[in-house]
Structure 1
Amino acid sequence: MKNSKTLKLLSEYGQIAFGIVLASIGLKAFLLPNGFLDGGVTGIALLVNTLVDVNISILLVVFSIPFLILGFYTVSRRIVIKSIISIIGLAFFIQFENFATITEDKLLISIFGGLFLGAGIGIAIRNGSVLDGSEILGIYLNDKFGISIGQIVLVFNIILFGITALVLSIEVALYSILTYIVAAKVTDLVIEGFEDFIGVTIVSKKFESVEITIMEELGTGMTLYKGTRGMGSSGKQEDFDIIHIIINRIDIKKMYRIVDKVDPKAFIIEFDVNTVKGGVLRHYLDKKKDKVLPKH
C-alpha cells in the first residue's frame, strides 16, 4: 500500500516536472525573447519584465505569493504545497536553462509559445498543482460571490491585455491574446483529454432488446434506472428500464442507428458531459473470448 502511494506521488511530481519543462520552453524559446505575453500571473510577470529590469524568475514567484495565500484558504494545503514547489521549480528552470530562440515569426511565436505553455500548465493541473495563480483567484471569488471561474479569469485577462495595449502596443496585445487563447485551449485539452464524451438517456418499450443490442454492437456498458410510471400519448407504463449511457461523441450516430433499428419510437435525450471518472466507458465485451450476453 505504501509502495503504491509512493509510486503515485513520484509519478505526479515527475509529470509536474515535465510540465515545468514544457512551460519553460514556451516562455524562454518563444515568448520572452520576443516580448509576448500570456494571460494570468505569467502575463503580469512578463509585462512587468518588459518595463523594468527585474529577473522574470523573481517576478513569477513574487506575483504568485498573494494567490498562494488565497489558495491556502480556498483549496487544500496539499495543492498549495505542490503549487509552491511547482512555481519555484519553474522559476529556477527559467533562470538556469538557455533555450535558443526558435523563430522570429510572430504568428508561430504566439501559437507554439501558447501550445508549450498551455501543455505545461495542463499537466501540472492534472497532477494537483498550478503554475499560474489566476485559477486560484477564480476559485476564491467563485466561492465568495458565485461568479463562474471562467468569467473571472476572462475579466482578469481583459484588464491585463488592455494595459498591455496601452503600455506596449496594440499589436503585442493582439498577439498576446492569441497566445492566451492557444494556451487556454491546450490546457483544457490536456486536463479533459482528447475524447469528447456525451450522455444519452433512452426510454423505450423495447428496453430489453435495446440494452442487449447496445452492448453487443456498440460495446458499451450502461446504468439502468427503474421506471415505474410514465404518462404520454401511448398511455401509462410501469416497470420498465430507463437506459443511461456515456459514449464518445464519434459514436453518437451509430448509437442512434442501433436504437432506431430496435425501436424507432424510442425517446432519446442527449446531453453534454464535462467530466467522466470511474466505470468502463467503452468496449466492455471481450470479443476474443466470444463472450455471449445473456438473453432475457
Structure 2
Amino acid sequence: MQTQKTINYFYEYFQIFIGIVLTSLGLKAFLLPNGFLDGGVTGIALLIRTQVDINMSYLLVFFSIPFLVLGYFTVSKRIVIKSVISILGLALFIHFENFQTITNDKLLISIFGGLLVGSGIGIAIRNGSVLDGSEILGVYLNDKFGISIGKIVLIFNIILFAITAFVVSVEVALYSILTYIIAAKVTDTVIEGFEDFIGVTIVSRKYDLIKKAILEELGVGLTVYKGSSGYGTKGIQEDFDIIHSIVNRIDIKKMYRIVQEIDQDAFIVEFDVNSVKGGVLRHYINKKKNKKLHKTTS
C-alpha cells in the first residue's frame, strides 16, 4: 500500500515536471523573445518584462506570491505546497534553460506558444497543482461573491489585455488574446481528456424494451434506478425503472434513435462526462457470438 502511494506521488510530480518543461518551452522559445503575452499571472509577468529589464523568473515568483497566500486560505494545503514547488520549478527552468527562438512568424508564435503553455498548465492542474495563480483568485471570489470562476478569469484577462493594448500595442494585444484563447482551450482539453463521454438518463414506461435494445444494439453497460410514483400531466404515475448509461459521443445519436423508436415520449437527460473508469463501458458485447451480459453497471 505504501509502495503504491509512493509510486503515485512520483508519477504526479513527474507529470508536473513535464508540464513545467512544456510551459517554459512555450515561454522561452515563442512568447518571451517576441514580446507576446498569455493570460493570468504569467501574462502580468510578461507585460512587466516588456517595460523593465528584470528576469522573467523573478517576476513570475513575485507576482505569484499574493495568489499563493490567498490559496492558503481557500484551497487545500497540499495544492498550495504543490503549486509553490511547481512555480519555483518553472521559474528555475525559465532562468537557466536556453531554448532558441524557433520562429518569428507572429501567427505561429501565438498558436504554438499557446499550445505549449496550455498543455503545461493543464498537466499541472490535472495533477493537483497550478502554474498560474489566477485560478486561485477565481476560487476565492467565487466562494465570496458567487461569481463563476470562468467569468472572473475572463474579466481578469480582459483588463490585462486592455492594458497591453495601451502600454505596448494593439497588435501585440490581439496576438496575445489569440495565444490566451488557444492556451485556455488546450488547458481544458488536457484536464478533461480527449475522449468525450456523454451520460444519459432515460425515463420511460417502456423501460424493459429500452434496456434490452441498448444492451443488444448499442452494446454498452447501464445502471437501473428504481423510480417512485409521482404526479405528472396525466395524474399519478406508476413505479418504473430509470435507466442511466454512459456512451461515447460518437454513439449518442444512435442512443437517441434506439430510445425514440421504442418510446417517442421518453424523457431523456444528457450531460457531459469528463472521466470514466471501470464498469463495462469499454467492453462491448460481441453480437456475433451472441454473448449475453448478466451483470451490467456503468
Which TM-score band (shorter chain)?
over 0.9
* 2:263 corresponds to: 264
Per-residue deviation, 1:242: 1.2
- One-letter code aligned to 2:272: V
* 1:22 corresponds to: 22
Seen in structure 2, the aligned counterparts of structure 1 residues 235 and 144 have a Cα distance that, compared at 3 Å, is closer
Per-residue deviation, 1:293: 3.0
* 2:55 corresponds to: 55
* 1:240 corresponds to: 240
For each residue in 1:216-272, what CA deviation from the matched residue of structure 2 results, as whole angstroms up to 9, or x when unmatched?
3223222322123255577754232111222222211111222234x1334132333
1:209 aligns with 2:209: yes
SS of the residue corresponding to residue 225 of structure 1 reads: strand
* 1:99 corresponds to: 99
User: Aligned residue pairs: how many?
Assistant: 294
Alpha-carbon distance in 2 for matches of 1:65, 1:106: 31
Question: What pairs up with 1:1-296 in 2 under 5 angstroms?
Answer: 1-229=1-229, 236-261=236-261, 263-273=262-272, 275-276=274-275, 278-280=277-279, 282-285=281-284, 287=286, 291-294=291-294
For each residue in 1:161-190, what CA deviation from the matched residue of structure 2 results, as whole angstroms up to 9, or x when unmatched?
011001000000000000000000000000
Alpha-carbon distance in 2 for matches of 1:37, 1:121: 15
Per-residue deviation, 1:117: 0.2
Alpha-carbon distance in 2 for matches of 1:21, 1:292: 48
Alpha-carbon distance in 2 for matches of 1:274, 1:222: 15
Q: Does the 8 Å contact 1:199/1:245 carry over to 2?
A: yes
Seen in structure 2, the aligned counterparts of structure 1 residues 136 and 251 have a Cα distance that, compared at 3 Å, is same
Alpha-carbon distance in 1 for matches of 2:279, 2:293: 17
Q: Does the 8 Å contact 1:247/1:281 carry over to 2?
A: no
Alpha-carbon distance in 2 for matches of 1:231, 1:139: 40
Q: Does the 8 Å contact 1:41/1:63 carry over to 2?
A: yes
SS of the residue corresponding to residue 241 of structure 2 reads: strand
Seen in structure 2, the aligned counterparts of structure 1 residues 290 and 21 have a Cα distance that, compared at 3 Å, is farther
- After superposing on structure 2, the runs of 4+ consecutive aligned residues of structure 1 that deviate more than 6 Å are none
Between 1:51-60 and 1:189-198, the stretch displaced more is: 189-198
For each residue in 1:20-55, what CA deviation from the matched residue of structure 2 results, as whole angstroms up to 9, or x when unmatched?
010011001100010000000000000001100100
Alpha-carbon distance in 1 for matches of 2:209, 2:283: 18
Per-residue deviation, 1:286: 5.8
SS of the residue corresponding to residue 102 of structure 1 reads: coil
Structure 1 unaligned runs (5+)? none
Seen in structure 2, the aligned counterparts of structure 1 residues 180 and 101 have a Cα distance that, compared at 3 Å, is same
Between 1:32-41 and 1:251-260, the stretch displaced more is: 251-260
Q: Does the 8 Å contact 1:103/1:109 carry over to 2?
A: yes
Between 1:192-201 and 1:29-38, the stretch displaced more is: 192-201
Alpha-carbon distance in 1 for matches of 2:175, 2:229: 58
SS of the residue corresponding to residue 57 of structure 1 reads: helix
Seen in structure 2, the aligned counterparts of structure 1 residues 281 and 107 have a Cα distance that, compared at 3 Å, is farther
SS of the residue corresponding to residue 199 of structure 1 reads: strand
Alpha-carbon distance in 2 for matches of 1:125, 1:61: 18
SS of the residue corresponding to residue 269 of structure 2 reads: strand
Between 1:195-204 and 1:102-111, the stretch displaced more is: 195-204
